[in-house]
Structure 1
Amino acid sequence: MPDLAPPHGATILVVDDDADIRDLIVGQLQQENYRLLGAANLAELRRYLKEEPIDLIVLDLNLPDGDGLSLCRELRADGSDVQIIMVTARGSAIDRVLGLELGADDYLTKPFEPRELLVRIRNLLRRGRHDPAPRTATMRYAQFGPWRLDLQQRRLIAPDDRLVMLSSAEFRLLNRFLEEPNVVLARETLLPERRATAAFDRSIDLQVSRLRQKLAAIPGGDELILTVRGEGYVLASGVAYS
């Protein structure tokens, strides 16, 4: 597919084996000054990633030559930080959590409102432009409660040096809590890219629940993340970096 917008905008790759859906999404995004590319399968997606600087992928999960979930896992394992919005007919909360844990930045269920996709793309691209420099550039560990978080290896370290691995979604969520300890964070603040639907998105609560279960594996970890009814969640601990 030829470029459909000037190259100075963000480059978005739309991956869907249904040409009508793919062209519909591309058509909806044309007015936003993005550089738009389209792919019908994983092979084309991989080719574009080798040849083009892609900022964001709108990724359908069911593709003729593989599963988008596996592709997402592969990209994160290779260290890719390209932003990914999964688009699929699989609508259960468990499916959404699985997609986010494998490294997706957001998740949309078909059918969806075109405006909602546009808002989520804007939020993700804005977040990517304005995120502060990562703390890992100068700091390795964040100590909170009985845990240490290895900011480079993205894993929890217990007092006895036992390691607990975190999914990409769990690490992002915990990192967000660590940025503002002892502050009540609304659900839309925890996941700003889904601000428009956070009030109704139960997958956020599932992610918090799974993170809590890992933190509760040692004494003193079960009361680190508290629920503030009607307001959100809070990390009830100080944080020290080293």
Structure 2
Amino acid sequence: MLDSIPARPATVLVVDDDADIRDLIIGQLHQENYRLLAAASLADLRRTLKEEAVDLIVLDLNLPDGDGLMLCRELRAEGTEVQIIMVTARGSAIDRVLGLELGADDYLTKPFEPRELLVRIRNLLRRGRNEPAARPAAARFTRFGPWRLDLQQRRLVAPDDSLVMLSSAEFRLLSRFIEEPNVVLSRETLVPERRATAAFDRSIDLQVSRLRQKLATVPGGDELILTVRGEGYVLASAVEQL
């Protein structure tokens, strides 16, 4: 009998122009048995992504050759599915929501507790490895209310076939609603990787609000996602696979 092949260790790329911070993060991650890479700039990051299969990026926003926010948006536009945790000294809710809308999977403000970063990395990598394989072409679209969701291109299709683009965070959020329509979902259920802080994380509410705004651009779309006070949110619609 052949021995089973063990899963390869996850590859984590730490991007920060401060060598002390890079070394601190890498030192904390060594105990997790990850394969660790480092970069000091956006140019280093792009070069590494061309040469290596990276599972998760710990990305500082303020880099000497550009803004990590714009780099995140570019990676998502290119179809890169690598998990991204943004780490920054910017602590406002607007910056957090902007980072998540541009495709980050999580957002951590400096200074942070190293153990919190470890937990968030574990949760994201676990989620990424546990996500089901992409649906077959026969189930490319899901219909709910007046909208269709293109599961391959990750965009909304209106009744007149016009397109509305979704950020990575919006697509994940809407996909979670579609998995359990007409069921009240708590913040912890909607964003499980931030379960520890979801109860008081207002950025989740802002993400839902922005998704609602996009759905409300066609008649009948303004009442699809409802708030259940004290419990969470619900997609009030039947869902049909096309």
Measured against the shorter chain, the TM-score band is over 0.9
Matched, 1:239 2:239: yes
Aligned residue for 2:68? Answer: 68
* Secondary structure at 1:87 match in 2: strand
1:65-122 CA deviation, whole Å, 9 max, x = no partner? 1111111111111111111000001111111111111111111111111111111100
Aligned partner letter, 1:35: R
Identity of aligned residues (%): 84
CA distance in 1, matches of 2:132, 2:8: 22
**Structure 1 residues not aligned, in runs of 5+:** 1-6
CA distance in 2, matches of 1:13, 1:88: 16
Aligned residue for 1:129? Answer: 129
Aligned residue for 2:179? Answer: 179
Displacement, 1:223? 1.1
CA distance in 2, matches of 1:165, 1:136: 21
Matched, 1:47 2:79: no
Displacement, 1:138? 3.4
Correspondence 1:66-145 to 2 at 5 A: 66-135=66-135, 137-145=137-145
**Structure 2 residues not aligned, in runs of 5+:** 1-6
Aligned residue for 2:9? Answer: 9
Contact 1:15 1:58 in 2 (8 A): yes
Displacement, 1:162? 2.4
Aligned residue for 2:225? Answer: 225
Aligned residues: 236
CA distance in 2, matches of 1:177, 1:133: 18
Contact 1:136 1:152 in 2 (8 A): no
Q: Residues 152 and 8 (structure 1 numbering): CA distance in 2 closer, same or farther, change over 3 Å? A: closer
Contact 1:56 1:84 in 2 (8 A): yes
Contact 1:178 1:235 in 2 (8 A): yes
Aligned residue for 1:36? Answer: 36
Matched, 1:147 2:147: yes
Aligned residue for 1:4? Answer: none
Aligned residue for 1:208? Answer: 208
Matched, 1:193 2:218: no
CA distance in 2, matches of 1:35, 1:54: 9
RMSD: 1.3
1:3-25 CA deviation, whole Å, 9 max, x = no partner? xxxx9311101000111111111
Displacement, 1:137? 4.2
Aligned partner letter, 1:131: E
Matched, 1:27 2:27: yes
Aligned partner letter, 2:112: F
- Normalising by structure 1, what TM-score? 0.94
Question: Would you identify which runs of 4 or more consecutive aligned residues in structure 1 move more than 6 Å?
Answer: none
1:16-75 CA deviation, whole Å, 9 max, x = no partner? 011111111111111111111111111111121111111100000000011111111111
Aligned residue for 1:3? Answer: none
Aligned residue for 2:166? Answer: 166
Aligned partner letter, 1:115: R
Displacement, 1:136? 5.1
